[in-house]
Structure 1
């Protein structure tokens, strides 16, 4: 199991190879890569800056990983989330899950992303022609988490009413 927050890019092939390395029980690997888009909420986006709280963020990602492992029989999980300045087309996040069967791999990968989008302590600022803006949590991210039967919990363990941009 691997959780990393980093500025540098990642290589999907290398990460999946490491996840599978030498384990003949792995029958399925599902992965998701999130990238920077050039438009958000109807405005062009020329750049994005992702911020986090070191230590708190890694702990939250480890909790998300543990929640997935408690629900499904998984043989490996890799979560990588980038921080710092990013441009359109740059990779932001990788979630890769190994299991014996595809159903567990697909479900766990989607669960981790849904959980990460609403619960991980990251703050996103977009550069647009109208100026820089902090991006609030989306209702759709909270709704995606609810379908897993999870009430929104922030990193401190208290009920969350959603992020309102950077604190």
Structure 2
């Protein structure tokens, strides 16, 4: 939902009027993430079909938790774990990138490997990896592979006729 403004606008426009929302994060910097989510939602409301009164009411029924899920006691994380994915080919389908120079400071994009069990094993270290933008994963030349060695490749999702499997092989 947070991967694009269109998704949020659709969410706002199609939301039932009798529903309340609680937005949580697993991130340790929950206050920052909650503030960002709230601003994203407010921007989507401004671009929505809702009247000003409906926008105000939507925000009144939206709650942003500023504490990480892991610190909410044992029953809330346990309930969220009930919805976890544990079968073949499942896992987190997005990754977050953060930079102080971006607006918004956090960007969510679809993971190419999506933690598939058949993809190569990542050995992430507790440090900020180098990010290399790859505009088209299917026409990226082998010559350019040297430049991404040891970094995380951010492969554009707009590649036409390019399968996920081919992008993962990058």
Tell me the TM-score normalized by structure 2. 0.23
Which structure ranks higher in relative contact order (CA pairs < 8 Å, sequence separation ≥ 6)?
1
Structure in which a larger fraction of residues adopt strand = 1
- Larger radius of gyration, structure 1 or 2? 2
Structure in which a larger fraction of residues adopt helix = 2
Tell me the TM-score normalized by structure 1. 0.24
